[in-house]
Structure 1
Amino acid sequence: MERGLDRSLEKRVRVSRSLPFMPGSSTLPKKNQNKSNRLLISVTVVGSAGPLRFLVNADELVMAVIEQTLKSYAHEGRLPVLGSDFNKFLLYCAHGGSDALSPNETIGSFGGRNFVLCKKRGIDLAAAEAAAKSTSGWKSWLNKSFHLKISSH
Protein backbone atom coordinates (compact mmCIF):
# COMPACT_ATOMS: atom_id res chain seq x y z
CA MET A 1 0.00 0.00 0.00
CA GLU A 2 2.88 2.39 0.71
CA ARG A 3 4.24 1.87 -2.78
CA GLY A 4 0.85 2.72 -4.27
CA LEU A 5 0.79 6.03 -2.38
CA ASP A 6 4.37 6.84 -3.37
CA ARG A 7 3.60 6.19 -7.05
CA SER A 8 0.43 8.28 -7.04
CA LEU A 9 2.26 11.12 -5.27
CA GLU A 10 5.11 10.87 -7.77
CA LYS A 11 2.61 10.93 -10.62
CA ARG A 12 0.90 14.07 -9.25
CA VAL A 13 4.26 15.84 -8.88
CA ARG A 14 5.15 15.07 -12.51
CA VAL A 15 1.75 16.25 -13.74
CA SER A 16 1.82 19.47 -11.69
CA ARG A 17 5.23 20.41 -13.08
CA SER A 18 3.97 20.13 -16.64
CA LEU A 19 0.81 22.18 -16.05
CA PRO A 20 0.74 25.94 -16.66
CA PHE A 21 0.82 28.39 -13.78
CA MET A 22 -2.04 28.05 -11.36
CA PRO A 23 -2.98 30.74 -8.82
CA GLY A 24 -1.43 29.96 -5.48
CA SER A 25 1.51 28.17 -7.08
CA SER A 26 4.95 29.23 -5.94
CA THR A 27 6.59 29.37 -9.37
CA LEU A 28 5.79 31.44 -12.44
CA PRO A 29 6.10 29.99 -15.91
CA LYS A 30 8.89 31.29 -18.11
CA LYS A 31 6.51 33.25 -20.31
CA ASN A 32 5.33 35.46 -17.42
CA GLN A 33 8.85 35.88 -16.05
CA ASN A 34 9.91 37.68 -19.25
CA LYS A 35 6.92 40.03 -19.10
CA SER A 36 7.63 41.04 -15.52
CA ASN A 37 11.10 42.13 -16.61
CA ARG A 38 9.70 44.80 -18.96
CA LEU A 39 9.46 48.50 -18.20
CA LEU A 40 7.24 51.17 -19.69
CA ILE A 41 9.58 54.11 -20.14
CA SER A 42 9.00 57.68 -21.26
CA VAL A 43 11.73 59.47 -23.22
CA THR A 44 11.47 63.21 -23.83
CA VAL A 45 13.55 64.40 -26.77
CA VAL A 46 14.86 67.94 -26.29
CA GLY A 47 13.18 70.20 -28.84
CA SER A 48 10.31 67.79 -29.57
CA ALA A 49 6.61 68.23 -28.84
CA GLY A 50 6.15 65.44 -26.31
CA PRO A 51 7.59 62.24 -24.86
CA LEU A 52 7.85 58.87 -26.57
CA ARG A 53 6.56 55.90 -24.57
CA PHE A 54 7.46 52.28 -25.23
CA LEU A 55 8.24 48.99 -23.51
CA VAL A 56 11.81 47.81 -22.99
CA ASN A 57 13.41 44.95 -21.12
CA ALA A 58 15.02 46.00 -17.86
CA ASP A 59 18.29 44.36 -18.94
CA GLU A 60 18.42 46.34 -22.21
CA LEU A 61 21.51 48.53 -22.68
CA VAL A 62 21.18 52.33 -22.67
CA MET A 63 22.61 52.52 -26.21
CA ALA A 64 19.85 50.16 -27.45
CA VAL A 65 17.22 52.36 -25.77
CA ILE A 66 18.68 55.45 -27.49
CA GLU A 67 18.58 53.61 -30.82
CA GLN A 68 14.97 52.51 -30.22
CA THR A 69 14.02 56.07 -29.30
CA LEU A 70 15.54 57.44 -32.52
CA LYS A 71 13.71 54.80 -34.59
CA SER A 72 10.37 55.54 -32.90
CA TYR A 73 10.96 59.28 -33.31
CA ALA A 74 11.66 58.92 -37.04
CA HIS A 75 8.78 56.44 -37.53
CA GLU A 76 6.32 58.95 -36.06
CA GLY A 77 7.67 61.66 -38.39
CA ARG A 78 8.55 64.06 -35.59
CA LEU A 79 10.52 67.25 -36.11
CA PRO A 80 13.30 68.30 -35.97
CA VAL A 81 14.91 65.41 -37.83
CA LEU A 82 17.52 63.82 -35.57
CA GLY A 83 19.17 61.14 -37.68
CA SER A 84 19.90 57.57 -36.61
CA ASP A 85 23.43 57.67 -35.14
CA PHE A 86 22.95 56.86 -31.46
CA ASN A 87 26.57 57.87 -30.73
CA LYS A 88 25.59 61.52 -31.18
CA PHE A 89 23.09 61.46 -28.30
CA LEU A 90 23.09 61.28 -24.52
CA LEU A 91 20.37 59.87 -22.30
CA TYR A 92 19.72 61.39 -18.88
CA CYS A 93 17.51 60.20 -16.06
CA ALA A 94 14.81 62.88 -15.68
CA HIS A 95 14.88 62.81 -11.88
CA GLY A 96 18.55 61.93 -11.50
CA GLY A 97 21.76 63.90 -11.40
CA SER A 98 23.35 65.90 -14.16
CA ASP A 99 25.52 63.04 -15.45
CA ALA A 100 24.57 61.23 -18.65
CA LEU A 101 23.84 57.53 -18.40
CA SER A 102 26.60 55.18 -19.46
CA PRO A 103 25.74 53.55 -22.84
CA ASN A 104 26.94 50.12 -21.67
CA GLU A 105 24.79 49.90 -18.53
CA THR A 106 21.33 48.39 -18.37
CA ILE A 107 18.34 50.71 -18.37
CA GLY A 108 16.79 48.95 -15.38
CA SER A 109 19.80 49.61 -13.15
CA PHE A 110 18.92 53.31 -12.78
CA GLY A 111 15.53 52.78 -11.17
CA GLY A 112 13.87 55.48 -13.25
CA ARG A 113 11.15 55.35 -15.86
CA ASN A 114 11.45 58.90 -17.24
CA PHE A 115 14.41 59.91 -19.38
CA VAL A 116 15.59 62.87 -21.46
CA LEU A 117 17.44 62.46 -24.77
CA CYS A 118 19.60 65.27 -26.17
CA LYS A 119 22.39 65.75 -28.68
CA LYS A 120 25.98 65.83 -27.53
CA ARG A 121 27.32 69.38 -27.40
CA GLY A 122 30.76 68.71 -28.90
CA ILE A 123 29.25 67.59 -32.18
CA ASP A 124 27.17 70.75 -32.59
CA LEU A 125 30.14 73.00 -31.80
CA ALA A 126 32.40 71.22 -34.28
CA ALA A 127 29.78 71.49 -37.03
CA ALA A 128 29.18 75.18 -36.28
CA GLU A 129 32.92 75.88 -36.30
CA ALA A 130 33.37 74.13 -39.65
CA ALA A 131 30.45 76.05 -41.13
CA ALA A 132 31.83 79.36 -39.84
CA LYS A 133 35.27 78.67 -41.33
CA SER A 134 33.88 77.69 -44.71
CA THR A 135 31.71 80.82 -45.05
CA SER A 136 34.24 83.36 -43.86
CA GLY A 137 37.43 82.02 -45.44
CA TRP A 138 38.25 85.09 -47.48
CA LYS A 139 37.63 87.38 -44.52
CA SER A 140 40.04 85.50 -42.31
CA TRP A 141 42.65 85.50 -45.13
CA LEU A 142 42.31 89.29 -45.48
CA ASN A 143 42.55 89.78 -41.73
CA LYS A 144 45.71 87.68 -41.57
CA SER A 145 47.23 89.29 -44.64
CA PHE A 146 46.63 92.93 -43.76
CA HIS A 147 46.19 92.59 -40.03
CA LEU A 148 42.85 94.32 -40.44
CA LYS A 149 39.59 93.59 -38.80
CA ILE A 150 36.79 93.33 -41.38
CA SER A 151 33.37 93.20 -39.86
CA SER A 152 30.54 91.29 -41.44
CA HIS A 153 27.16 92.98 -41.46
Structure 2
Amino acid sequence: MSKRPEKKNNGENQNVKKSRFLITVNVVGSAGPIRFVVNEDDLVSGVIDTALKTYAREGRLPVLGSDAKDFLLYCANAESDALSPLEKIGSHGGRNFVLCKKQRQLQMTERKPDLISHKGVSSWKAWLYRVLYF
Protein backbone atom coordinates (compact mmCIF):
# COMPACT_ATOMS: atom_id res chain seq x y z
CA MET A 1 0.00 0.00 0.00
CA SER A 2 1.57 3.25 -1.12
CA LYS A 3 1.01 6.55 0.55
CA ARG A 4 0.13 9.66 -1.38
CA PRO A 5 2.35 12.61 -0.67
CA GLU A 6 0.62 15.18 1.46
CA LYS A 7 0.21 18.64 0.07
CA LYS A 8 1.31 21.47 2.27
CA ASN A 9 -1.32 24.08 2.99
CA ASN A 10 0.83 27.26 2.91
CA GLY A 11 -1.97 29.15 4.67
CA GLU A 12 -4.41 28.84 1.75
CA ASN A 13 -7.67 26.95 1.87
CA GLN A 14 -7.31 24.26 -0.80
CA ASN A 15 -11.04 23.46 -0.75
CA VAL A 16 -12.14 26.90 -1.92
CA LYS A 17 -13.19 26.71 -5.56
CA LYS A 18 -13.66 29.69 -7.79
CA SER A 19 -17.26 30.19 -8.75
CA ARG A 20 -17.85 29.36 -12.41
CA PHE A 21 -21.00 30.00 -14.37
CA LEU A 22 -22.40 29.86 -17.87
CA ILE A 23 -22.93 33.17 -19.65
CA THR A 24 -24.77 34.04 -22.84
CA VAL A 25 -23.37 36.75 -25.10
CA ASN A 26 -25.54 38.12 -27.89
CA VAL A 27 -23.48 39.77 -30.62
CA VAL A 28 -25.23 42.62 -32.40
CA GLY A 29 -25.80 41.58 -36.02
CA SER A 30 -25.23 37.86 -35.42
CA ALA A 31 -27.84 35.13 -35.77
CA GLY A 32 -27.60 33.62 -32.31
CA PRO A 33 -25.93 33.85 -28.92
CA ILE A 34 -22.55 32.53 -27.83
CA ARG A 35 -22.42 30.52 -24.61
CA PHE A 36 -19.34 29.69 -22.57
CA VAL A 37 -18.23 29.20 -18.97
CA VAL A 38 -16.34 31.93 -17.10
CA ASN A 39 -14.91 32.37 -13.64
CA GLU A 40 -16.58 34.90 -11.38
CA ASP A 41 -13.26 36.77 -11.10
CA ASP A 42 -12.63 37.05 -14.87
CA LEU A 43 -12.31 40.59 -16.17
CA VAL A 44 -14.78 41.97 -18.69
CA SER A 45 -11.92 42.49 -21.17
CA GLY A 46 -11.09 38.77 -20.96
CA VAL A 47 -14.73 37.84 -21.51
CA ILE A 48 -14.88 40.08 -24.60
CA ASP A 49 -11.69 38.44 -25.90
CA THR A 50 -13.09 34.94 -25.31
CA ALA A 51 -16.37 35.88 -27.01
CA LEU A 52 -14.52 37.21 -30.07
CA LYS A 53 -12.35 34.09 -30.31
CA THR A 54 -15.37 31.80 -29.97
CA TYR A 55 -17.26 33.85 -32.56
CA ALA A 56 -14.37 33.57 -35.04
CA ARG A 57 -13.80 29.86 -34.31
CA GLU A 58 -17.45 29.14 -35.14
CA GLY A 59 -17.08 30.99 -38.45
CA ARG A 60 -19.93 33.39 -37.76
CA LEU A 61 -20.84 36.36 -39.90
CA PRO A 62 -20.37 39.28 -40.05
CA VAL A 63 -16.64 39.11 -39.39
CA LEU A 64 -15.94 41.27 -36.33
CA GLY A 65 -12.19 41.36 -35.89
CA SER A 66 -10.16 40.31 -32.88
CA ASP A 67 -9.28 43.50 -31.01
CA ALA A 68 -11.22 43.51 -27.73
CA LYS A 69 -10.62 47.26 -27.37
CA ASP A 70 -13.03 47.87 -30.27
CA PHE A 71 -16.00 46.36 -28.41
CA LEU A 72 -18.30 47.13 -25.49
CA LEU A 73 -20.09 44.61 -23.29
CA TYR A 74 -23.47 45.46 -21.80
CA CYS A 75 -25.45 43.56 -19.19
CA ALA A 76 -28.67 42.60 -21.01
CA ASN A 77 -30.83 42.73 -17.88
CA ALA A 78 -29.84 46.22 -16.77
CA GLU A 79 -30.35 49.59 -18.35
CA SER A 80 -26.85 50.83 -17.77
CA ASP A 81 -23.70 51.96 -19.46
CA ALA A 82 -21.20 49.53 -20.89
CA LEU A 83 -19.25 47.46 -18.39
CA SER A 84 -15.74 48.65 -17.64
CA PRO A 85 -13.05 46.37 -19.11
CA LEU A 86 -11.39 46.23 -15.68
CA GLU A 87 -14.52 45.09 -13.80
CA LYS A 88 -15.03 41.50 -12.76
CA ILE A 89 -17.74 39.79 -14.76
CA GLY A 90 -19.38 38.42 -11.62
CA SER A 91 -19.82 41.83 -10.00
CA HIS A 92 -23.19 42.48 -11.68
CA GLY A 93 -24.78 39.11 -11.05
CA GLY A 94 -25.96 38.99 -14.66
CA ARG A 95 -25.61 35.99 -16.94
CA ASN A 96 -26.86 37.55 -20.17
CA PHE A 97 -24.77 40.11 -22.04
CA VAL A 98 -24.76 42.02 -25.32
CA LEU A 99 -21.55 42.63 -27.28
CA CYS A 100 -21.45 45.74 -29.49
CA LYS A 101 -18.77 47.18 -31.69
CA LYS A 102 -17.72 50.70 -30.69
CA GLN A 103 -18.75 53.44 -33.07
CA ARG A 104 -15.69 54.63 -34.90
CA GLN A 105 -15.51 58.35 -35.45
CA LEU A 106 -13.77 59.92 -38.39
CA GLN A 107 -10.52 61.42 -37.17
CA MET A 108 -9.13 64.69 -38.44
CA THR A 109 -6.09 62.95 -39.92
CA GLU A 110 -8.24 60.74 -42.15
CA ARG A 111 -9.16 62.06 -45.56
CA LYS A 112 -12.68 62.04 -46.92
CA PRO A 113 -12.99 60.82 -50.50
CA ASP A 114 -12.61 63.57 -53.05
CA LEU A 115 -16.04 64.56 -54.28
CA ILE A 116 -14.91 67.04 -56.87
CA SER A 117 -16.22 65.95 -60.20
CA HIS A 118 -15.18 67.18 -63.60
CA LYS A 119 -17.26 69.89 -65.32
CA GLY A 120 -20.53 68.42 -66.56
CA VAL A 121 -19.60 64.84 -65.60
CA SER A 122 -21.35 63.43 -62.57
CA SER A 123 -20.07 60.49 -60.63
CA TRP A 124 -22.46 57.96 -59.13
CA LYS A 125 -20.01 57.47 -56.26
CA ALA A 126 -20.09 61.17 -55.45
CA TRP A 127 -23.88 61.18 -55.63
CA LEU A 128 -24.12 58.15 -53.36
CA TYR A 129 -21.70 59.69 -50.88
CA ARG A 130 -23.74 62.91 -50.77
CA VAL A 131 -26.98 60.99 -50.23
CA LEU A 132 -25.60 58.84 -47.43
CA TYR A 133 -23.42 61.30 -45.53
CA PHE A 134 -25.10 64.71 -45.87
Determine if the TM-score, normalized by the shorter chain, exceeds 0.5: yes
CA shift for structure 1 position 98: 3.2
Higher relative contact order, structure no. (Cα contacts within 8 Å, ≥ 6 residues apart): 2
Residue 63 of structure 2, aligned match among 78, 81, 103: 81
Moved over 4 A (4+): none
Question: Residues 29 and 138 (structure 1 numbering): CA distance in 2 closer, same or farther, change over 3 Å?
Answer: closer
| C-alpha distance in 1 between matches for 2:75 and 2:96 | 6
Query: CA-to-partner distance for each residue in 1:59-114, whole Å, 9 max, x for gaps?
Result: 00000000000000000000000010000000000011230001000000011000
Query: What does 1:54-133 correspond to in 2, within 5 Å?
Result: 54-121=36-103, 123=104, 125-126=105-106, 130=110, 133=112
| C-alpha distance in 1 between matches for 2:41 and 2:56 | 24
Question: Residues 81 and 97 (structure 1 numbering): CA distance in 2 closer, same or farther, change over 3 Å?
Answer: same
TM-score by length of 2: 0.72
| C-alpha distance in 2 between matches for 1:41 and 1:69 | 10
CA shift for structure 1 position 29: 6.0
| C-alpha distance in 2 between matches for 1:39 and 1:89 | 22
* Secondary structure of the corresponding residue to residue 55 of structure 2: helix
Equivalent residue letter for 1:92: Y
| C-alpha distance in 2 between matches for 1:55 and 1:90 | 19
Q: Percent identity over the alignment?
A: 57
* Secondary structure of the corresponding residue to residue 139 of structure 1: coil
Alignment pair present for 1:139 and 2:116: yes
What's the RMSD between the two structures over aligned residues? 2.6
Equivalent residue letter for 2:61: L
Equivalent residue letter for 2:17: Q
Higher helix proportion, which one? 1
Equivalent residues, number: 109
